[in-house]
Amino acid sequence: MKPVHRLSASTALVALLSAAPALADVTPQQVWTDFQTYFQDFGYTVAGNVNDTGSSVTVSGLTLTMTAPDNKGGAQVTMDPLVLTARGDGGVDIVMPTQIPMSFQSMADGEDKVDAALLLTQSGMVMTATGNPGAMVYSYNAAQMTMTLQNLTVNDQAMPPENAAATFTLTGLSGTSESTTGAARSFVQSGKADGLTYDVKFVDPEEGGSGQFTGSMQALQFQGNSALPGQMDPNAMAKAVRDGFALTGNFTYGGGSMSFQGTDQGDTVAGKSSSQGGALSIAMSADGLGYQINSTGAQLELQTPDLPFPISMSMAEAGLNLKMPLLSGDGEQDVALGIKLADFQMAEMLWNMFDPGTVLPRDPATIVVDVSGKVKMFMDLLDETAMQQAEEQGTAPGELNALNVNALNVKLVGAELTGTGAFTFDNTDKVTFGGMPRPAGEANLTLSGGNGLLDKLVQMGLVRQEDAGGVRMMVSMFAVPGQGEDVLNSKIEINDQGHIMANGMRIQ
């Protein structure tokens, strides 16, 4: 079973446990109906024994069950009991059990058979529902919520607790979730937690390797919107997205730290990391899938058996941006990739290993890459069967029609490379460039400090003088002097005939 299926039970449950008072009245019966519809829209079967007294609804033995296609896995959640009680002011109190067992199974072809049992425990939970049947609003507060791995079986082999353990704990939770029904069900959610702690350890029974991760995060916040088409089948996500499934989510944290240790064939690697904060954003709809990840003030210390001293490094900012289409279509769709590593620094001891004479400048290094483009998709990336057939047949799921280099900046050891570019691709001509679509466009590059860096590498003995001369001769074929000392410019063009030119001179 794929991760999106395994996670949907906990995602749906946390979303339900996520809500602001409204003016209209709501009854326990309406809340129970909304509860059932919500999970059924996620593809779950809802079962339980209902006792309706009018002023309250108690559901004993409540189970939520989902089965993956071809019985290749499933998920179950048990809440016993769920109690919904009218407050007398138009709202409903929701009382869930302090312990909620969950289980997940995965038996996908070609993958390990996995069976996991989890236990969600909560304390100090206060949850209410207000609003009306078409616009239900949930609000909650909880002192603590903990998810613990109870049992893990891999290929019918039970893992002892010392070989597989995981605990995640949230404290000081509060949030709101507004559910609006119509042709599709929509949600507007927000939540926060004072902190998160986690402790994960594992041992590979076959290879003998092991690992442990312990850490914490502070000042967590979440905001998100989602839309679910009626009776959505999570095992057919391509159809669900075409029918209107969409979500956006923004997660931030104020800081965090982690310590880790791992062993492999007798060697041990240990370390710790921290950051001053970060953010994660995700968007998924018929327009495509997008991720944005960012962290600030990151630090890392690492101890390896290959070095007699610990390695330390830091980075002011790290970021990743990704956008890609999910569905096939006749028109072009957007793609994008961005990477940012700003002000990376290493400890002096690490520098001294390969530059004991302090020849190279040790200024912070920065790498920025920002590219975007246009593609045409021939198949749905969410269609697992079609993607598997394409892989077996060696068929590409789409084609690249355009690529833009919006920004390129590589700055390190005294040199800096910057550039931009824009190219289109003729997919009807895969002869001119040996099997790849023929590009047309230009790229403009500037290298500052390149000759100075080459001189320093010769001084350090890393590059021979005669090799440096060959490098300079080759560079002169593609670059011309720019403004300022030790600055080279290069304009690379590819025309419609497939001719390649450097600074106006044809080189191919």
Q: Is the pLDDT of residue 19 over 90?
A: no
Q: Is the same domain home to 409 and 428?
A: no
The 8-class DSSP code of residue 356 comes to T
Q: Is the same domain home to 399 and 459?
A: no
The 8-class DSSP code of residue 484 comes to S
Residue 411 bridge partners (DSSP): 366, 416
For residue range 29-76, what is the model confidence (pLDDT) as tens digits? 999 999 998 888 778 899 999 999 999 999 999 999 998 776 778 899
In a domain, 238, yes or no: no
Ranges of beta strands (E only) in 107-209 are 114-123, 126-132, 135-154, 157-158, 164-180, 184-203
Q: Is the same domain home to 399 and 436?
A: no
The closest of 385, 356, 434, 349 to 69, measured between CA atoms, is 385
Rounded Cα gap, residues 182 and 256, in angstroms: 40
Average confidence (pLDDT) over 287-302: 96
In a domain, 63, yes or no: yes
In a domain, 241, yes or no: no
Average confidence (pLDDT) over 490-503: 93
Task: State residue 412's pLDDT score.
Answer: 96
Task: State residue 224's pLDDT score.
Answer: 96
Predicted TM-score (pTM) of this structure: 0.84
For residue range 359-394, what is the model confidence (pLDDT) as tens digits? 999 999 999 999 999 999 999 999 888 888 888 888
Q: Is the same domain home to 345 and 279?
A: yes
Q: Is the same domain home to 277 and 303?
A: yes
Number of H helices, E strands in the chain: 7, 28
Cβ-based neighbours of 206, under 8 Å, separated by 6 or more: none
Domain that holds residue 187: 1-220
Q: Is the same domain home to 188 and 261?
A: no
Task: State residue 464's pLDDT score.
Answer: 95
Q: How is 192-238 classified by DSSP, letter by letter?
A: EEEEEEEEEEEE-TTT--EEEEEEEEEEEEEEEEEEEETT--TT-HH
3-state secondary structure of 96: coil
Q: How confident is the model at residue 23 (pLDDT cuts 50, 70, 90)?
A: very low
Q: How confident is the model at residue 108 (pLDDT cuts 50, 70, 90)?
A: confident
Handedness of CA 450, 452, 456, 461 (dihedral sign): positive
Q: Is the same domain home to 360 and 428?
A: no
Q: Is the same domain home to 377 and 399?
A: yes
- Antiparallel, parallel or unpaired: β 311-324 and 480-481: unpaired
Q: Is the same domain home to 281 and 207?
A: no
For residue range 392-404, what is the model confidence (pLDDT) as tens digits? 888 889 999 999 9
The angle formed by the CA atoms of residues 307, 310 and 314, to the nearest 5 degrees, is 125
In a domain, 440, yes or no: yes
Last residue of a domain, one of 199, 220, 241: 220
Residue 492, CB half-sphere, CA atoms under 13 Å: how many? 17
Terminal alpha carbon distance of the chain:
51
3-state secondary structure of 438: strand
Q: Is the same domain home to 215 and 289?
A: no
Ranges of beta strands (E only) in 359-437 are 365-377, 398-412, 415-426
In a domain, 240, yes or no: no
Placement of tokens 């002096």 in the chain: 348
How many domains does the structure of the chain reveal?
3
The angle formed by the CA atoms of residues 409, 411 and 417, to the nearest 5 degrees, is 50
Rounded Cα gap, residues 28 and 36, in angstroms: 12
Residue 114 bridge partners (DSSP): 106, 154
In a domain, 248, yes or no: no
Q: Is the same domain home to 380 and 438?
A: no
Are 92 and 128 within 8 A, CB to CB?
yes
Beta-carbon neighbour count of residue 262 at 10 Å? Answer: 15
The closest of 25, 64, 16, 50 to 179, measured between CA atoms, is 16
Rounded Cα gap, residues 141 and 495, in angstroms: 63
For residue range 112-151, what is the model confidence (pLDDT) as tens digits? 889 999 999 999 999 999 998 889 999 999 999 999 999 9
The 8-class DSSP code of residue 495 comes to -
Rounded Cα gap, residues 469 and 473, in angstroms: 6
Last residue of a domain, one of 381, 413, 445: 413
Last residue of a domain, one of 205, 220, 235: 220
In a domain, 232, yes or no: no
Q: Which token pair is 181?
A: 């029904």
Q: Is the pLDDT of residue 208 over 80?
A: no
Q: Is the same domain home to 15 and 76?
A: yes
Average pLDDT, the chain: 90
Are 193 and 173 within 8 A, CB to CB?
yes
Are 456 and 360 within 8 A, CB to CB?
yes
Main-chain dihedrals φ then ψ at residue 303, nearest 5 degrees: -120, 120
For 154-188, b/e burial (b = at least 16 CB within 10 A) is beeeebeeeebbbebbbbebbbbbbbebeebbbbb
Rounded Cα gap, residues 381 and 289, in angstroms: 11
In a domain, 198, yes or no: yes
The angle formed by the CA atoms of residues 349, 350 and 354, to the nearest 5 degrees, is 110
Cα 454 from chain centroid? 39
**Does 205 sit behind a cis peptide bond, omega within 30 degrees of 0 on the bond before it?**
no
The closest of 79, 81, 94, 73 to 31, measured between CA atoms, is 94
Task: State residue 228's pLDDT score.
Answer: 85
